[in-house]
Amino acid sequence: MSYQNSLKYAQEQDKKDSLQKYRSKFYIPTNDNDKEKELIYLCGNSLGLQPKTTKHYIQEVLDDWAKLGVEGHTEAKHPWLPYHEFLTDAMAEIVGAKPIEVVVMNTLTTNLHLLMVSFYRPTAKKYKVVVESDAFPSDKYAVESQVKFHGYNPKDAIIYWKPRKGGELLQIGDLQKIVDKQGDEIAMFLIGGVNYYTGQVLNLKKIAEIGHQKNIKVGIDLAHGAGNIQPNLHDSDVDFAAWCTYKYLNSGPGSLGALFVHEKYARDKALNRFAGWWSHNKQTRFNMRKEYDVLPGAEGWQLSNPPILSMAAIRASLDIFKEVGMKKIREKSDKLTGYLEFLINEINSDKVKIITPKDKNQRGAQLSIQVKDADKSLHKKITDAGVISDWREPDVIRVAPVPLYNSFEDVYRFVSILKESI
Ligand SMILES: *Cc1c(COP(=O)(O)O)cnc(C)c1O
């Protein structure tokens, strides 16, 4: 791909872009003082923007509830009893799974715990957990608390997969070394498939292979992967995964998450799990007196009847993903993030370094930019100039041009502002 460093070129790319029309299907945040002036929103990796259709999907539920009351469970336009099923196929498609492997439920950290109830079954000899050293704090806390819950000491039981000295990125060979040395003591991996800090995309298939050499259960957090990359969960053979829907999946603050349990466990009733009525056989769920009869597949991890209003927002978003397809989204994302990389390199300053991998198979939309000697005042400067981005101490700006609503012009304008601010 040969890019050019000019606004004119960026605008031409937008005109040629087959996804350009989708930008107008989202609300782009604007400046307080000037409602006409759209901000340069590069934070879709933290909270995705609102599709203009979302309110209609939510309104449908509100109207059905007003009109039907409890009857809405079966009589609503999209009945509430099976509402989560309306999301399953599209969600499975996005993460490369079979429908039986996926369910939308709860929130991410809750789902990680429920999955660890099933897949972290430590014994006196095999009890350790591998996490990446700069894992998202919630995942670290979740693993620490699970380890303690089972009576082990996190200091001994948690092994950190670290980047090598002087680098920021993880090397798969180092995970293999950990397993070669301590594999017999390791019970589980819980690893971010796309690192939230560096934007590095890991090879899930390889991670699963390494784990399974020593009968280690392999779990993946896909918070930064779902709707961003194509993780092919089924073929990767990881045992379980969980993600949220408010980042690249644009379903609104605190919206529900989803989980994946590999098909090989779909009918394994012996798996330990916490239960609730929503994972009970749908035919006899309302008999209330029947003994627990767990549903096959990922649905068998549900506990409660789910919040339909949140699911309506997810349905609105998934309908856009269905219409466009992940293949096209990835194609544009590669170009857009490639353009961002090109322009940052054009700044040509030894102060600026991209820590995200150069290889496009090892990254998604996000680039993490390290700015030497910078502090938070740099972030304030670019924010004041109309850029919404994310600052991570000590010196990293994370930006994620999102293919569904960001433009080449956004990327061009952002880099001009960054250059001026440094
Ligand atoms: C965003 C994110 C979370 C947030 O967890 P919630 O339970 O949804 O609050 C957890 N882990 C990772 C890796 C994330 O990126």
In degrees and rounded to multiples of 5, residue 229 shows phi and psi of -115, 175
Any ligand 1 atom below 6 A from CB of 191: no
Ligand 1 atom at minimal distance to the Cα of residue 196:
15
Chain centroid to CA 29: 22
pLDDT of residue 61: 98
Ligand 1 atom at minimal distance to the Cα of residue 257:
8
Same domain assignment for residues 243 and 343: no
For residue 381, report the distance from its CA to the centre of ligand 1, in Å. Answer: 28
Domain count, the chain: 2
pLDDT of residue 354: 97
**Is 58 a domain residue?**
no
DSSP sequence for 45-103: TTSPPPBTTHHHHHHHHHHHHHHHGGGHHHHSSS-STTTTHHHHHHHHHHHT--GGGEE
**Is 76 a domain residue?**
no
Same domain assignment for residues 318 and 366: no
Ligand 1 atom at minimal distance to the Cα of residue 110:
7
**Is 67 a domain residue?**
no
Task: Give pTM, 2 decimals.
Answer: 0.97
Same domain assignment for residues 156 and 270: yes
Same domain assignment for residues 99 and 212: yes
Any ligand 1 atom below 6 A from CB of 134: no
In single-letter form, the type of residue at position 289 comes to R
Same domain assignment for residues 391 and 314: no
Same domain assignment for residues 13 and 96: no
Same domain assignment for residues 24 and 107: no
Output the domain CATH number for residue 248: 3.40.640.10
**Is 74 a domain residue?**
no
Ligand 1 atom at minimal distance to the Cα of residue 224:
15
Same domain assignment for residues 22 and 144: no
pLDDT of residue 31: 81
Same domain assignment for residues 127 and 249: yes
| Most ligand 1 atoms within 8 A of CB, residue of 144, 196, 198 to mutate | 196
Other C-beta atoms closer than 10 Å to the C-beta of 141 total 12
* Domain membership of residue 157 as a residue range: 82-322
Q: What is the pLDDT of residues 154-191, one digit of tens each?
A: 999 999 999 999 899 999 999 999 999 999 999 999 99
Q: What is the pLDDT of residues 332-373, one digit of tens each?
A: 999 999 999 999 999 988 999 999 999 999 999 999 999 998
**Mean pLDDT along residues 180-208:** 98
